[in-house]
Every structure is written in structure tokens, then in C-alpha cells.
Structure 1
Amino acid sequence: MPSVRSANGGDPTASMGPLARFWRTTHAPDYVGFLILLAGWIMIMLFVNPFHRMFFINDLRISYPYAEHERVSVPLNFLYALFIPLGALIAYNTVTRASTHKHEATYLSLAISIVLSSFITDIVKNAVGRPRPDLLARCQPSADTKPNVLVTMAVCTAPDGHTLQDGWRSFPSGHSSFSFAGLGFLSLFLAGQLHVFNYYTGGRDLSRALICLSPLIGAALIAISRCEDYRHDVYDVCVGSALGMTVAYWSYRRHFPKLTSPTCDEPHPHPAAEAQPGWQRVRDEEEQGSELAFPLGTRRS
């Protein structure tokens, strides 16, 4: 939220040691948290096997063919949902000559959005252990397995490896959460920069809204492709998409004002500025009052 002058005196960091002052006046807590999440995500992917839910070998819901070539592979998903949004954010901030603080807040928020969304997704995937629609093609149950009887992974004749283990990671869709965490964040960022939700400065401009909707359409197409490849069903994709978009919005709002704010195109003050004497955050109700006082989106001096 924007900051205003306060009558309070005294430097709150004056009595702190160098390390505590550095922690208080930089984005160090975010970077440490990001590294912890990234390490945890990598550890889960490398060393954690999912819970193996029992299944029927004549269950048509898990009898779809295994797609050897995915429409959106993992590398392509990184390209579409991470590198393309990151490139767009860098290009926009460079062209608009954004401050160093805005550069940092933008990319840090994007990184946290993607890693946190993926971390949560993989925890839930492994805990739920829901069979994918193509599980039987991965499992290749032995010929003597009886139908209409719940069986375990023990009936599978396929070699135990990533392909087989991944057959129990259907819920929620990781591609969907990843794509909405990255492209959804880009959509939120563009909405803030173009004041799409500010009625007086951009809310009536359909062209601006369509620009902001474009990344969401791309994310939706990636999510839909998971159903076309029979990797997930609609339920997996919808929950994954909602998870990714929720985390994207949460990460965005940690560093940027709400989208209806007159100053939604600028991030919250840098931690070092907030730690200076005489500064304090503006509460939401005060900001709403300022919007009424400045209806044309004019900046407060």
C-alpha cells in the first residue's frame, strides 16, 4: 500500500545490529523463503513417491492411452509460463524505465508465485495419490488380475520408475497450477500497469482488458491440453488452475496495491523506506477514501 508521512519520530532500526537491520530493510526474508521453497520442491520431485491408491483394472476412467508426446511438455510449460512472462515483465519495466525497486518486486513476486504454487501442488499430488486417466497403460496389469476387485500397484508388470510412479499424481494438475501461477501473475501485473480496474483511467477501455486477458487464455489452453493428453480430467485441471491463480494473486498483492488503487502501477515502498522514521502504511479504508477524493486517478503529492 502507498505510504504517507507520520508524526512518529525515531528510527526503529537504530538500535538493531547490522544483520537485523539488513533483514529489516531489504527483501532478504523473501529470498530466504524462496530458496527454502525451491529446495523443498526439488527434494519432493527427486525423493518422494506418491501414495498408491487402489484401483479396478476394468475402471474406464483410468483406461485411456498413454500419450508418448504431450502437447505441452514440461520444458514447453517452463517456456510458456515462466520464461515468456519473465521476458514480458523485463521488457515492460525496461521500456517504462521502472525503478530498481520495481524490477526487484516484480521478478521476486513472479518467482515466489511459481515456486510456491508448484510446492503446494506436489505436496497435494503425493498425499492424495489419485490415479491418472492413463494409469492402466502405465501399469500394464498382469493378465491374471481379476476385474471388479480392488488391486494395488503389485499387479503392475511395468518397471518401477518415474512413468509408473507418476501415474498416481493426477490431482491437482501441475501444468495447470504452474501455468496460472506464471501467466496469471503476468495478467495481474498488466492489469495494474494499465489501470484496467480503475473506472476513470482505464476501466472502460476494452482493448486494455483484452491485453490482460491474453495470458489467462494461454494458461487455460495449457490446462485444457492436459485433458486432451489424458494426463488429467476436468476436476484435476480446474483445481490446479484455481490453486495457481490464487497463489499468483496472493504473491502479487504482497508487493503491489490492489488493482482498484490509483497507484496500482507502483509497488509498495521498499522495506528500507518503510523502516525510515515518519513513515507508515496506509490502511485500506484510508486508501478507499483517497480514491473518492481523487476520482480521476490523480496521484497524491
Structure 2
Amino acid sequence: MAPPKPNSPANGSGFLASVLRFWNRTYASDYIGLAILLASYLVIQFFVEPFHRLFSLNDLRISFPYAEVERVPLTHDFGYALFIPLLLVFVTNLICSASPHKHHVTILGFAIALVLTSFLTDVIKNAVGRPRPDLLSRCAALPGTPVDKLVDISVCTETGHHKLHDGWRSFPSGHSSFSFAGLGYLSLFLAGQTRIFAHGPGSIAEHTEKLVRGDLLKALFCLGPLVGATMIAISRCQDYRHDVYDVTIGSLLGWTVAYWSYRRYWPRLSSVRCNEPYAGPPGVTDGPGYGRLRDEEEGAGGRNVGHELRELNSR
């Protein structure tokens, strides 16, 4: 974040100037945005019902049985995609003797990825109102309901509010998007810390021994979280909660948000400094930090080797 200009209101005195200085020198905007996203997500969860598409009792696509016991319940999904990645990134930073700034942006980026993914997933779910593959089992339609005509939710006899209305929240898969957001962020973080992509023609790795070329074992280690997220997504098809289309789009949504959130705080994985976050606002960064560069300045072109060597030597 660039410091305020000499004639900026942040350089003045008074309450407004103090607020502007605080805003420019902290992560206040990130935390306010995160709080708004979290509050919006909770409002959607507790007060918004999905759009209810019409359906037909002879539609085989929504005729699958309702699984009373899920392979990956929601609580387990939180454990796999939230608590385990959170523990692993924290332990990794401890092992690497990370600075407080590095700890901070690692957790902040992770939290934003999960909350933003959950918010977007629920907004889309409620707007689309796509029936789940097990909708007819949830609905338990009234006897005598026409089987060859489109009907609405009024023919359902299920009294459980969540069980019934959740039947119209099939697209996209929330388990899939959440798991790819959390485990996808973990995979990106591990890839940055192990520098498995920080090499190539003309890169700093060809001119110094301070970087170690990534090997297959490291790559598989970083790929592991994505394999886990994929298995969680597949389980949703096995439980007939979603079809392949739902879990594919949900997975892409979670991965996209995870990458977007990661890159707000970290350089590209091919950068020589991929294991260090960008410098934060002047009021929170410890040390000189790593200023954000354009992608072409982080690239592998030989013209940047001298610049990268100077950065390493200055550490």
C-alpha cells in the first residue's frame, strides 16, 4: 500500500485525518470486508429461502434415495477444510520461524478464502434453486399428485423445514467449494513454501544455490490437499446430494477464490520470493518486506536476475 501523498487529508490533523491514517496503515479494510462477508453469509443461512423450481414426479434425475448418513458430514467438512489446514499452515510457519506479518497474512488470506467462498456459494444456491438428486425422497409428495405434470413445493408433505428447503440447494456443491477453498489454499501455501515452481530458464535458481529445485516428493506433498478436496467432492455424488455438474462447478468456484485470495498477499509461485508475502501497510509490516511487483518483474527473464540477486543479498 502506497504511503499517502504530501497533500493528502491523511497528513492533516483532527479526527478524519486520524481515521485515514489508521485506514492506510492497517488491514482495517480487509477486516471490515471480512466482517461484512461473514455477516451476509449468516443472514443468508438463517433467513433466506431458495428459489423453488417446479419439478415432476417422474423425473429420474431427482429420484435418488435420501442418505440419512453422509460419507462426509458438514462437521467433518469443517474439520478437513478449515481446522486441519489452519493447523498445518500455523505449524509450517512456526517451523520456518515466520515473522508476525507472515503469520498474519497467511491466516487472513485463508479466512477470506473460506468466508467469501461460502458467501458466493449460498448466494448462487438460493438464486438458482436447482433440485437435488434426492428431492423426491425429501418431498414425499401427497398421494394422487400427478406424475406427468410440473408441480411445486406445495405438494410436499415433509415437515422438516431445513430438510425440505435444502432440497432446492443443489447448485453448486457447498462441500466441494468449501473443501477446495480451504485445502486449495493450503496447497498453494505449501507450494510457495517448498518453492516447487520457483525455477526455470533465466530464473534466479540458475544463478544461486540458495534455492532448491522442487522434486516429485515435494510436488506430491503439495498436491495432497487437492486430492483430499477431490475425494470430498466425489462423496457428494456417492450420497446423491449432488451430481457431477454441481461438484465440478463448486470445486472450480472454491479453487478460484482460494487462488484469488492467496495472490492478494503472496507473489506468484514461480517468483524467487514465493515463500515470503508481500509487504503490508506501513503500520503493520515488520522489516523492509517484499513490495508488490508486476508479474513481468517477477518473471523468469534474465534481465531480472540481477535484481533478484540483490533482493536475496539484502535479506
Report the TM-score when normalising by structure 2.
0.87
- Seen in structure 2, the aligned counterparts of structure 1 residues 289 and 59 have a Cα distance that, compared at 3 Å, is closer
Q: Per-residue CA shift, 1:16-55, capped at 9, x if unaligned?
A: 7221111111111101100100000011000000000001
Pairwise CA RMSD of aligned residues?
Answer: 2.6
**Matches of 2:269 and 2:94 in 1, distance apart?**
22
**Matches of 1:189 and 1:144 in 2, distance apart?**
56
Residues paired across the two proteins, number = 294
Letter in 1 for 2:37: L
2:298 to 269, 284, 287: 287
- Seen in structure 2, the aligned counterparts of structure 1 residues 163 and 146 have a Cα distance that, compared at 3 Å, is same
1:1-301 superposed matches below 5 A? 14-15=11-12, 17-199=17-199, 200=205, 201-202=211-212, 204-272=214-282, 281-288=292-299, 292-294=303-305, 298=309, 299=312, 301=314
After TM superposition, which residue ranges in structure 1, 4 or more long, deviate above 6 angstroms? 273-276
User: Percent sequence identity over matched residues?
Assistant: 54
Letter in 2 for 1:272: P
**Matches of 1:132 and 1:286 in 2, distance apart?**
47
**Matches of 1:147 and 1:9 in 2, distance apart?**
70
**Matches of 1:30 and 1:189 in 2, distance apart?**
19
CA contact (8 A) 2:198 2:274 kept: no
**Matches of 1:292 and 1:92 in 2, distance apart?**
33
Kindly state the Cα deviation for residue 288 of structure 1 after the two structures are TM-superposed.
2.4
Kindly state the Cα deviation for residue 94 of structure 1 after the two structures are TM-superposed.
1.0
**Matches of 2:139 and 2:162 in 1, distance apart?**
12
CA contact (8 A) 2:25 2:281 kept: yes
- Seen in structure 2, the aligned counterparts of structure 1 residues 202 and 72 have a Cα distance that, compared at 3 Å, is farther
CA contact (8 A) 1:142 1:156 kept: yes
Structure 1 gap segments, 5+ residues each: none
Q: Per-residue CA shift, 1:218-248, capped at 9, x if unaligned?
A: 0001000000100000000000000000000
**Matches of 1:122 and 1:204 in 2, distance apart?**
38
Q: Per-residue CA shift, 1:121-155, capped at 9, x if unaligned?
A: 00000000000000000000112011121110111
